[in-house]
Amino acid sequence: MNIDDLFEAIDTPRTRLRCPDVNDATDIAKLVTPEVSRWLAAWPAPITEAMVVARILRARLEITEGSALHFLVERLEDRALMGWIRISRNETQPGIGDLGYWLNEAYHRCGYASEAAAQALAIGFERLELENIESGAQLENTASFAVMRKLGMEPCGERLIWAETRHREEVCLFYSVHRDRYNISLSS
């Protein structure tokens, strides 16, 4: 299958968002380091190529079903694969979406996550017909909160989440943004 057979690649000024493909599995596995994984609930390090292939196949199915959008994030100038963004529909509240994202540490503190996530949010509101999108992170993950604030998200409370990577519940602070508020923040 062609990499972009589920949706065409979307460019921002410095990033490209494209559909995950099984041919990306080796490169994705290399990006999930212990430094990245420590902040992620469901991406262990090390992660095997077979585990990544299974995630890609599940992601592609979710895209086809319309329950989620998954994007690989590339640096536009050289097509270096940097990370992954997902927006998924809440199963019990279909108007609410969940944003998850990660980039390899080599690409941290460059603004790539904010730039790519801003585009992903706009697409998520449109294609998944969401009214509200939220995102959460462990209380110590100040870099992720900075991204959320740049996206116009505001704190909406703490919740326990199951971190399958570490086999425990963890307290996360969640931020959210409503469709109307997000459109305003993008134009200002």
pTM of the model: 0.93
Quick: pLDDT tens for 117-131: 999 999 999 999 999
CB environment 123-144: b (16+ within 10 A), e (fewer): bbbeebebebbbbbbbeebeeb
Locus of tokens 């990245």: 36
Coil, helix or strand at residue 38:
coil
128 within a domain of the structure (yes/no): yes
Q: Residue 57 maps to which CATH number? A: 3.40.630.30
Residue 96 domain-assigned (yes or no)? yes
| Residues 177, 174, 56, 168, Cα dihedral to 10° | -170
Is residue 151, in this structure, part of any structural domain at all?
no
Check residue 6 and give its pLDDT.
80
Specify if 164 maps to a domain.
no
Query: What is the extent of the structural domain holding 51?
Result: 10-133
Report how far Cα 39 is from the mean position of its chain's Cα atoms.
Answer: 13
pLDDT value, residue 99: 98
Q: Is residue 29 part of a domain?
A: yes
Q: What's the CA gap between 132 and 179, in Å, rounded? A: 6
Q: What is the pLDDT of residues 50-64, one digit of tens each?
A: 999 999 999 999 999
Burial (CB count <10 Å: 0-12, 13-18, 19+), residue 34? exposed
Total domains present in the chain: 1
User: According to the model, what pLDDT value does residue 188 have?
Assistant: 46
Residue 35 lies in a domain: yes
The token duo for 107 is: 């690409």
